[in-house]
Structure formats: C-alpha cells, structure tokens
Amino acid sequence: MKITDAKVFVCSPGRNFVTLKVYTDEGVYGLGDATLNGREKAVVSYLEDYILPCIIGRNPYDTEDIWQYLYRGAYWRRGPVTMSAIAAIDMALWDIRAKCAGQPLYNLLGGRTRDRVLVYCHANGTDLPHTLEEVGRYRELGYRAIRVQSGIPGIDHTYGVAPAGTKYEPAIRAGLPDESACWSTEKYLAFMPRLFQAVRDRFGEDLLLLHDGHHRLTPIEAARLGKELEPFHLFWLEDLVQAELQENFRLIRRHTTTPLAVGEVFNTIYDCQQLISEQLIDYIRMTIVHGGGITPVLKTAHFAEMYMVKTGFHGATDLSPVTMGAALHFDTAVHNFGIQEHMPHEPLVDEVFPHAYHYADGYMYPGDAVGFGVDFDEKLAAKYPYQRAYLPVNRKTDGTMWNW
C-alpha cells in the first residue's frame, strides 16, 4: 500500500482549523488535525513546504518509521509547530490503518477498556452569581464534571470568561492580538476560595470541580491556592504555573494535596518526563494534535501509567473534531484514562466535520465507525476561508507583560 498524495485544508467555520487528508493507492484516506491556535499558517507551511513531499510513496502502515523519520530527520526538533505538523500525518496514518482493518481506532489501541468516556465542560460567568447559574445549567445538561471559571472582582475581564451572552472564543479574528486583558494575582487569589465555597454550598460535594489557572501564578502562589482550595476537594487545578521549569512543581506538591493537571502546551515526552516520574502531577493534558500524534502520546500514556499519572486531554474548541474523535478512541482504550475536556463545537463545525461520537449524560461515546469516525466536508469547508486570528496577550495591572 502506498501514500499517493496529501492535501492541507485551512477553513474557518467560526474559527480556524487546519486539516490534513492523506490519500493512498487503495482509495482509503486518513484525516489529521494540524490546528495550532493563532499560528495556523506556520503549521501549513511546515507540512506543505517541507514534510508532505517526504511521505509520498511510503507505506502508510509504517507509522513508527515515518514518525521517527519526521522527528529525527529535521535535525531541529520539538516545539508546537513541528509537533502539530508531525501529529497531523501520524493521525492520518492511524486513521488509514484502522479503516483498512475495518475497525474503530480503539480496537487497535487495546480495545474497549471502558464503555464511556467521562468528560468535563466549561462553566464560566462574568461574576459569581452568573457563574453559579452556569454551573447549574451544565449540571442540568448531565455533566458530572465541570470546570469553573469566573470574572474576578476588580479585574475587567479574564481568561476563560466570555462577555455576557456570548460563547467563549479567545482567538479573535482581528488585525492584531487583543491587549485589553490585565491581571492581578492578588485579586484572583483573594476571590478563588469564595468562588468554590459558593459552588460547594450551592451544589454540594458530588460534582467534580475543575479550575484552570492558565499559567499565571508563581510556584508559592500556586501552593497557596492549592492549599486554600483543599476543603473543596477539587478534581484538579490546571496550569497553575508556566510549565517550562518542571521542578516548579516540587514546591507546589510540598504544600498541597489538591490534584494538579498540566500539559496542553507540551509537545513531547521531554516536557513532562520529570513531572511524571517524580509524580509531581496527577493528570497529563498533552493531547494528540500538539503532542506529535497517536504514536508518541500512546508512549507517554504508557509511561505515565507506571507512575499512576492519568490522562486528561486538552479538548478546547480550537482542537478540531478530528482530534476529538481520535482522543475519544484513545480515552476508550488506555488504562490510565482520567478525564476528557469537552467544549462542544458549534453546529456549523460539526457539519464541516461529520462524526460518529456523541455526548450523553456526562459522558462521551466514540461510536464504532471505522478509524476515528470523523469525516471532512471539503465543499462546505471551502465556503469559510481562513482569517488570521490571534490569542489575546495579557499584562499585569502595572503593564508588565505576563502569561495569558
């Protein structure tokens, strides 16, 4: 069997997506997600100008050798652009392999370890009362796990919170990055215990609660937050600190038993090897599209299993339904699955990417279609051309550039 062609599709049905389609001489094609929010075209170029010509003529079953060729062959390694490009190819080849076997992907990854995938949604409100309303609304939709983000008194607008009456979409399709966000750690830390006290008072102990710090604290501030939120038994606190320095987590771990999640910005095992082997985290979030594909992320999950670290894949709307499809099959098969993020895509996106997976009563089900069970409507996608979009940047109240 041979790869005969590969095409990159960039579309923007409400937000930008980059989709790779790999064709074979047996008529079977595979899909890969290459979306890197705010830097999409860099990945398109890496694919079209450099690595796609290298895979034409190869056997699509040779996923390990092709991955090693693409990773080692560039000389320059790692990074989100490189690894998203490699991931797209790796995903497409696994999709082809499963389709040729006439199997849903999970049957090639170990089979059904579970019959449904626990997911968490995003409840966000402009202030505490609105946030409580949103948590209630998602609980009514059956979610058992809810990420809670709220507007913070004294801060104009902050990460994860949509202006009233709008859907949260941080990538603004405008001329330049939005610089209106500003950040006060003091105000944030003062408010968090009040927020989760209110959520527990209103909804009790059963609801699994998550929160995303989005890279903004120092290790000792993160330790304080983890400690002060212990009475509320969170499922996890995510991305409390910027994670380039893995030993940051030793300090946090010393001070709190609140479970920690990190990794959506990681793209190889080397970004998290220390976090996992020293059990400094409880959930690894590096996902298939930014982690180099199924081939390396499966190795990472198996490595994490030894240290009792679970998966908690990133699953925001800027990861396309192709990644969601692949992730749900992965989540169904690996032993140390923890939880899957679920920000439902808009209906138009679901039309561009018809899929077999579905949500019901707090869980998602990958379906039993062959491959990932996701397709791509090229004609419909062509109606929504790419528009450059940036993620916001963030400054502290004194103007210091900080992490968004």
Closer to ligand GCO at the Cβ: 20 or 181? 181
Backbone torsions φ then ψ of 271, nearest 5 degrees: -75, -15
Tell me the per-residue interface mask from 200 to 219 with Mg ion, x by CB under 5 A, - otherwise: ------------x-------
* Nearest distance in Å: CB 214, Mg ion: 6
Cα separation, 18 vs 85, whole angstroms: 10
**Residue 208 contact partner, candidates Mg ion, ligand GCO, none, CB within 5 to 8 A by sort of partner:** none
Give the residue, chosen from 37, 84, 295, 332, that forms a contact with ligand GCO under the rule CB under 6 A: 37
- Name the pairing type of β-strands 363-365 and 117-125: antiparallel
Q: Is 264 in the site for ligand GCO (CB under 6 A)?
A: yes
**Residue 331 contact partner, candidates ligand GCO, Mg ion, none, CB within 5 to 8 A by sort of partner:** none
Closer to ligand GCO at the Cβ: 98 or 181? 181
Residue (of 158, 156, 78, 85) closest to 124 by Cα position? 158
Cα separation, 17 vs 254, whole angstroms: 40
* Cα four-point dihedral sign 338, 370, 17, 164: negative
Order of strands, sheet of 3-11, starting from the edge strand that comes earlier in the sequence: 3-11, 17-24, 29-33
Give the residue, chosen from 253, 341, 349, 362, that forms a contact with ligand GCO under the rule CB under 6 A: 341
- Give, as ranges, the residues between 275 and 314 that touch ligand GCO (CB under 6 A): 314
CB contact burial 313-326 (16+ within 10 A = b; e otherwise) = bbbbbbbbbbbbbb
- Give, as ranges, the residues between 131 and 170 that touch ligand GCO (CB under 6 A): 170
Residue (of 118, 112, 106, 167) closest to 371 by Cα position? 106
Closer to ligand GCO at the Cβ: 99 or 285? 285
* Nearest distance in Å: CB 370, ligand GCO: 29
Residue 306's contacts (CB-CB under 8 Å, 6 or more residues apart) are: none
Residue 172's contacts (CB-CB under 8 Å, 6 or more residues apart) are: 178, 389, 390, 392
Contact 122, 160 (CB under 8 A): yes
Give the residue, chosen from 316, 370, 380, 393, that forms a contact with ligand GCO under the rule CB under 6 A: 316
**Residue 37 contact partner, candidates ligand GCO, Mg ion, none, CB within 5 to 8 A by sort of partner:** ligand GCO
Tell me the per-residue interface mask from 204 to 223 with ligand GCO, x by CB under 6 A, - otherwise: --------x-x---------
- Count of residues in contact with ligand GCO, rule CB under 6 A: 10
Catalytic residue from among 214, 290, 329, 355: 214
Helix runs in 229-375, H state only: 248-255, 273-277, 294-306, 321-333, 347-352
Q: Is 33 in the site for ligand GCO (CB under 6 A)?
A: no
- Amino acid at position 46, single letter: Y
Catalytic residue from among 29, 71, 120, 159: 159
Give the residue, chosen from 271, 318, 331, 375, that forms a contact with ligand GCO under the rule CB under 6 A: 318
Closer to ligand GCO at the Cβ: 60 or 170? 170
- Give, as ranges, the residues between 345 and 404 that touch ligand GCO (CB under 6 A): 391
The helix/strand/coil state of 228 is: helix
Whether 335 is catalytic is no
Whether 283 is catalytic is no
- Amino acid at position 166, single letter: T
The residues carrying an active-site annotation are 159, 214
Which stretches of the chain bind ligand GCO, using CB under 6 A?
Answer: 37, 170, 212, 214, 264, 314, 316, 318, 341, 391
